[in-house]
Chain A
Amino acid sequence: MRLIPGLLVAAVLVLPVAGLAQEFPLHRVDARHCAGLALVRNPQIVEAEAKVQEYRARLLEIENIIYPKLQATFTAAPMFTVEANFDSTYSDFANIDRRWQSIDDWGPSTRLDLRLIQPIYTFGRKESGERAAQHRLEVERARLRETENTVALEVQKLYYMYLYARSVTPTLEWANRELIKIRNKANEWYQAGNGKVTKADLAKIDFGDTELQWLRITARDGMRSTLDGLRLAMGLNSDDEFIVDVAKLPNVDGVTAESLPELLEAAARMRPEWAQVEHGLQATIALADAERLAMAPTAFFTAFMRHAWTPTRDEATNPYLNDPYNTLRGGLALGLNFDVDAGKAVARSKQAQAKADQLRALQTFASSGIPLDVRRRHMELMSAIEFQGRTDTGRRAARQWVTFASTAFMAGVGPARDVLDGMAAYLQATRRYYESIAEVHLAQAKLRYAVGDIAEPPQCQVEHGQPNKPTESE
């Protein structure tokens, strides 16, 4: 019995927190998660998926041509009194009595028309229309893949530029702390007049400081703007918290590029432009067939019925008279429907021609542009890998510069200037080092885009954790 109040208290305390967690979902992401979320939520991809649905619906519309259609019309209107004996000669119109002066002379007049139409044969028009719509749907699917690839590339660019800024930040912050100490010490020496520093040395330190502050601000603003870009690319709301769960750019030791022939072969299979060209051409041919058959009839089977009732008018029972006010008739029939519109046919033919021209341009790009793109990106990746190796050496050399200048300065046998110069060199070398790592990652992403396999299937895992905005220093 004592447990129940405790549970109630716990429930009261827990429920608002649980609601809060659901109201502001927190995403902990790395490169794969970012790409996964973007492939699900990016507005451009959602729009492209909607376009695919649109063309799927158009295909469905054409497939439904062969399904039965029901048309029904019902009307009701007031009608005045007309009395006449239609069994006698129908030319005796002098004896027709029409009365409308009194309200009692008026009554309802209803009419119901029903028609059930079952198309039977379209003389090939439906089949060519279906083919055109199916291929057009495949074109839109290929465009969706193209959009996914573009978004995935954008996400990777933002992700690695964010990590670049984050990677250089610890070195920048360390340099800032050291520079403050150095400036204080230099000012102290200058005031003491011991000859260890001159005004030019102090000015050099101040100049170095402005360069350093520019780098810190650039890194800080770079992190913010790339995070905002990532948020947009991933389709997150402005109040969705997310943190990048990686502290530094991933190492690229051992990264190599696949062989160029393999990449060219893969691009020939996977670039969505090829599918667009292939299906686009098929759609154009099918559309041209459909337009050629546009003036062909549609054979159909129909069942029809008409019922009209107007109690204020005498019914004409003479079978040779058509009484639109009182009648019940129906029947079954076979028919042909013609829809001849020469102007529309000419316009559609020109549209098909324009589409064919677009496809020819795309085919030209695909056949020469794609292999060129793959070659260029492959070369860029090879260069980036080579350069990255050298920046590793450069950073190591700058680190030795600082180390040995510091040990010499500590022993009193080396000037402070060497330490400062070493620090500046190390800062530059570190920036270049991380820049080169980011370049390798970006070159890999651009190569994968050129090959057409950059967008992995969505595998996002959303985790909830402590809200933690990215900090400027680790």
Chain B
Amino acid sequence: MIRRTVRIWIAAAVLLGPAIASANSDALQRTKDLINIFLKVRSGTDAQPLSAPDRRANCVLFGQIDAYFDMETMMKSALAPNLDKFSPAELKSVTRDFAQIVRSLAYPGSGKFFDRAKYTMSGPFNNGDRSDVRMDVLEQGKDWETEVTYHWEMKNGKWMIVDASFDGDSLVVDYRNQFSRIIEQDGKDGFRNKLSEKLAEAVKKTPLCD
């Protein structure tokens, strides 16, 4: 009986081991794939804005980048202390606005950033349900060194980013505090207005994709 149990466990380990290793190595591969997409994003300047074909190409890339981020989980976590104040529709609305802000302000410069920066990746490191990939980045022109950690969770069979840490501190936790402060000062509607104003400002710089 004991020998049979041991054989079952050994067989399970042999069968499942590669699958677990493969699942973990996907997080690192996913990070590399994401960076490769970022590198293709084209950047314009005030003097030389992007042409229409370049903007269309970027929109395609932004759609691909979106697939790597679980904005819903991130926003739910950031609004956790105040989640009961938002209806499902309002939650969906703020998540959409926030995602659009990130698209308009963060995505366009990402290609230039990763092109200029030197970075090394390590991991993935198991962190409960999460798999963390660490990137040490050096922006030589600014003499700026930082450690970015991408926190991945398996969602519907795919690794998705649910948080990022800078020098060990979580971005989502900081947003949680920022959002809570605003909601306490200005209420839920004040918070929604701030996001809307920021979005209006952001789309002037980078128009929304169709």
Contact = CB atoms under 8 A, between A and B. Distances in A.
A404 B141 contact: no
B166 A400 contact: yes
Interface string B62-103: 000000000000000000000000000000000000100110
Interface string B137-150: 00011111110000
A407 B174 contact: yes
Given A170-B142, A411-B178, A404 B169 contact: yes
Given A399-B144, A400-B169, A412 B194 contact: yes
B143 A408 contact: no
Given A412-B197, A412-B198, A413-B178, A403 B141 contact: no
B105 interface: yes
B141 A474 contact: yes
A370 B198 CA distance: 66
A474 B143 CA distance: 9
Contact of A411 (B98, B145, B166): B98
Interface in B159-200: 166-167, 169, 171, 174-175, 178-179, 182, 191, 194-195, 197-199
A396 interface: yes
B198 A404 contact: no
Contacts of B98: 411
Nearest to B170: A404
Nearest to B148: A403
Given A408-B175, A411-B101, A403 B140 contact: no
A399 B175 contact: no
A412 B202 CA distance: 10
B21 interface: no
A408 B105 CA distance: 12
B141 A400 contact: no
B6 interface: no
B12 interface: no
A243 B210 CA distance: 54
A172 to B, nearest CB: 10
A413 B175 contact: yes
Interface in A375-425: 396, 399-400, 403-404, 407-408, 410-414
Given A396-B167, A400-B167, A404-B174, A413 B142 contact: no
Chain A: interface size category: 10 to 19
Given A410-B105, A412-B197, A474 B140 contact: yes
B2 interface: no
A115 B110 CA distance: 97
Contacts of B141: 170, 174, 474
Contact of A413 (B146, B171, B179): B179
Interface string A146-170: 0000000000000000000001001
A404 B171 CA distance: 7
A171 interface: yes
B1 interface: no
Given A400-B166, A413-B179, A414-B178, A407 B171 contact: yes
A254 to B, nearest CB: 18
Nearest to B196: A412
A411 to B, nearest CB: 6
Interface in A226-253: 248
A411 B198 contact: yes
B52 to A, nearest CB: 26
B76 to A, nearest CB: 16
B106 interface: yes
A167 B174 contact: no
B142 A171 contact: yes
Nearest to B173: A404
A430 interface: yes
A290 B122 CA distance: 77
Interface in A199-237: none
Given A410-B105, A411-B178, A414-B178, A430 B143 contact: yes
Contacts of B171: 404, 407
Contact of B175 (A171, A400, A411): A411
B167 A412 contact: no
Given A399-B144, A404-B174, A411-B98, 5 more contacts: A170-B140, A170-B142, A174-B142, A411-B198, A413-B191
Interface of B: 98, 101-102, 105-106, 140-146, 166-167, 169, 171, 174-175, 178-179, 182, 191, 194-195, 197-199, 201
25 contacts: A170-B140, A171-B142, A174-B141, A174-B143, A174-B144, A399-B146, A400-B169, A403-B167, A404-B166, A407-B171, A408-B174, A408-B175, A408-B178, A410-B101, A411-B98, A411-B101, A411-B175, A411-B198, A412-B101, A412-B195, A412-B199, A413-B178, A413-B191, A430-B143, A474-B140
Query: Across chains A and B, which 4 residue pairs bring their CB atoms closest together, nearest first?
Result: A412-B198, A174-B142, A170-B143, A413-B178
